[in-house]
Structure formats: C-alpha cells, structure tokens
Structure 1
C-alpha cells in the first residue's frame, strides 16, 4: 500500500522530500508539464506520480543530491529550505545516505487547495519536515525614531492653532466681501 498524505487548505511551512528512482520504467520526470501538448490540461508525469490534481512548478525542486557537494542535503534543508535544525538532526544519517535525484515539494506547490497526496513510482517518500519559524513578538521598537509613527501624535502647537484660526477668519472675511460686492452690483 502506498503512503497517503492529507494536505490541508492553505497549508504552509511544510517541506516534503522524495527520492526519484531513475531506473524505473516510465515517462521522464520534469518540473514542468508538457506544454507542447495541445490540451488545456497538459500531461505532467511528475504531478501524476504525486497523485495530485494541482501543482505549482514554482514551488518544487528536482535535482541530483550530488549537486549539493560541499553543502550536503541536511545543511541544504536547514539553510536553503528553512527546516528546523532539530528535525534534520533526527534524520541526519538517513539524509546523508541519500544519493541520486531528489524532489522537494513545499506547501505553496498545492496552491492553497486541500487534497490527498498519493505518491507512486518512481517517487519514494523520504520525510515531511516543518520550516523553522521565529516566534512572533510584539515588543516595542527600540529606536526613538519609531515613536510617533503609530499614531501617537502630539497636540498641535499654539502657532499651528493660531494659523488655523487666522485661515478661517480670512475665509469668512472673503465670503463677506463677496456677498457685499454681489449685493452692490
């Protein structure tokens, strides 16, 4: 029986890893659908192998682990994908042993749609990881320059108030002059 993974609507922060069996018979895997096909829904063997109806190619990566020479898959997951270092440490030995092609699918690849992921050959699930996120903090900004930028206004000065009164007085005086000129004509 193959694995089944529920994808929640508007899921975020999840990274799924798969190996790609390059010896398996079947169509070549690509991170893009076959745009040359004359159809509204072009064939896409990778999407079909994941068992999903929607897949955004901007949020998937398919590459050979050998391309990470000097970095390695565990460090790429931490630095490049933002996966928690603690999560990677739990699987470090297994991740370092992986060779060949790997598929990385992040939550955004599903476009916010709920569904079921049912990967099949030539894909083999490695693991599901969570992006490491800093806790949200609502502490006051430390800079004095930030004060007053959130609506903390000082009351208008006496000079500003005097200017406003004078402007209103001039407008009233202008209106009275206009009425006198209009009545006299």
Structure 2
C-alpha cells in the first residue's frame, strides 16, 4: 500500500520519518544513488515516490547507532522537533528499531510534488521543527528610536544619468567657450 503526502512549493520546517523494512545488507544498495548514461537509479527516491530529492537533506541510519540518545532524543535535540509533537508518540518512537529515513523539507527544494511512499518504506510520522517564538519588543538601542518616516529618501547615484548629463552639458560648455573666445578676439 502506498502512502500519499503532498509537498507544497513553500513547505518549510517539516521532518518526515520513515522506517526502512530491509536487512542491514540491503540498506547500502537502497540508499546509494547510481548514474549511468541512460539512467539515474536511486531506489530510495523511487520508494519515496519523489520527483525531486536533494540527498544533502536526507539521512539514513540505524537507530541502534544513536545509543543512549535514541530516536526520540535525536528527533528532539538533533532535528529540533517540538516536544509537544513528540509527547504523544514517545512509546511508538522508542519501539522503532532498524534503519530509518529522515527527510527534511529542504530536500524538496521548493518543488511541489506528491510523494507516494511504498515498501520498503513505512511512514512513521511528519513532525514540525520547533521555531523560536516571535517577539515584538522594542529594540534597546538609541539608534533604533524614531520612525522610518523621519528618514529622508536615499540619494540615487546613477552613473548612467551622470554620463547623460555630461553629454548634454559638453556642447553647451563648448558653445559658451566659443562665444567667449569670439568676444575676446573681436
């Protein structure tokens, strides 16, 4: 059975976790991307059903490698998933063993697509990265006082306009010099 997930063009801050139901010997072949003249072969991307996937923003690892931290701790401390998102799922996350796939929103690089995850991937959940709360406190520095309306508009220094002014002014200056020379020599 295939799991469908929409990835929007503006997706940001989501972490998708999948269990990989393969033996340790099969993982390298599944995770590694190979190129040939006619084909770009990547079983992981194909199982995820992605049309675009940046491998710099995915991780495949054995949960046992996390030792005492565990998958729950890694998701909280390493991936920044909010404690609220993880609270209800702690028993299920702690029970996960074997290899997992972590896919960050950045892996899709703004390409809107629909994922069709299928075996050997098993979707475990999609979580939000915790972000700092927005604060609208005034800045303490005196330099931050005042308003934008008090600021004069910036002076535009356009080299093209300067050149155009020089071209227009040059004949006028030559005409004035010629007139001055004619008056002196007469």
Give the structure-1-normalised TM-score: 0.73
Is 1:135 equivalent to 2:139 in the alignment? no
Show the 5 A alignment for 1:121-160.
Answer: 121-144=119-142
Q: Report the 3-state secondary structure (helix = DSSP H, G, I; strand = E; otherwise coil) of the residue aligned with 1:118.
A: strand
Q: Report the 3-state secondary structure (helix = DSSP H, G, I; strand = E; otherwise coil) of the residue aligned with 2:126.
A: strand
**1:25, distance to aligned residue in structure 2 (A):** 10
Is 1:93 equivalent to 2:94 in the alignment? no
Give the number of the structure whose residues are more often strand, by fraction.
Answer: 2
Alignment partner, residue 16 of structure 1: 16
Cα deviation code 1:12-64 (max 9, x no counterpart): 1111000111149978211x5213x224x511110000011110001100001
Show the 5 A alignment for 1:17-166.
Answer: 17-23=17-23, 28-30=29-31, 32-35=32-35, 37-39=36-38, 42-144=40-142
Give the number of equivalent residue pairs: 160
Instruction: Please give the alpha-carbon distance, in whole angstroms, between the structure 2 residues aligned to 1:101 and 1:9.
Output: 29
Instruction: Please give the alpha-carbon distance, in whole angstroms, between the structure 2 residues aligned to 1:62 and 1:151.
Output: 53
8 Å Cα contact 1:24/1:121 also seen in 2 = no
8 Å Cα contact 1:61/1:105 also seen in 2 = yes
Give the number of the structure whose residues are more often helix, by fraction.
Answer: 2
Q: Report the 3-state secondary structure (helix = DSSP H, G, I; strand = E; otherwise coil) of the residue aligned with 1:121.
A: coil
Instruction: Please give the alpha-carbon distance, in whole angstroms, between the structure 2 residues aligned to 1:151 and 1:7.
Output: 41
* Segments ≥4 residues shifted beyond 6 Å: 24-27, 150-153, 182-185
